[in-house]
């Protein structure tokens, strides 16, 4: 578990220093588009049986980091727990690592066959 927290903090700190930015509306994220942007910027990471990318953004007029987790809906693809357990594990690890989060949302996109979790942490 400590390794997961170290990795989350490392990615968070790299993102703060980077120019990878999301300026769109938080409630209407184009998840697939952001994942493609992360791949193009070589800022996609594998953690907690999901893909993770982070972006600098503004939230409540303050600088923040948007964490976007992309979890496959089909558990047989990852060989791990049910999707609901994986979502709860993701939230638990992020809260343990960063203590507080400022925004969170999850959305299942059946066409993409993924559950997306958006988490924002103010800097």
CB 70 within 8 A of CB 39: no
Residues 86-107 have a mean pLDDT of 92
N residues, the chain: 123
pTM equals 0.88
Check if the beta carbon of residue 64 is closer than 8 Å to that of residue 123: yes
More confident residue, 49 or 123: 123
DSSP 13-65: HHHHHS--B--S-GGG--HHHHHHHHHHTT--EEETTEEEEEEEEEETTEEEE
Pairwise pLDDT comparison (93 vs 1), residue with the higher score: 93
H/E stretch holding 87 reads helix 83-98
Domain ranges of the chain: 2-122
């Amino acid at each position: 578990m400590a390794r997961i927290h170290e990795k989350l903090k490392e990615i968070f700190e790299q993102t703060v220093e980077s120019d990878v930015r999301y300026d769109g509306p938080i409630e209407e994220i184009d998840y697939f588009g952001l994942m493609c942007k992360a791949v193009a910027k070589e800022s996609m990471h594998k953690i907690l049986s999901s893909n993770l990318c982070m972006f600098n953004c503004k939230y409540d007029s303050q600088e923040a980091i948007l964490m976007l987790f992309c979890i496959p809906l089909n558990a047989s693809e990852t060989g791990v727990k049910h999707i609901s357990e994986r979502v709860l594990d993701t939230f638990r690890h992020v809260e343990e690592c960063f203590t507080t989060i400022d925004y969170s949302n999850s959305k299942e996109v059946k066409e993409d066959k993924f559950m997306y979790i958006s988490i924002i942490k103010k800097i």
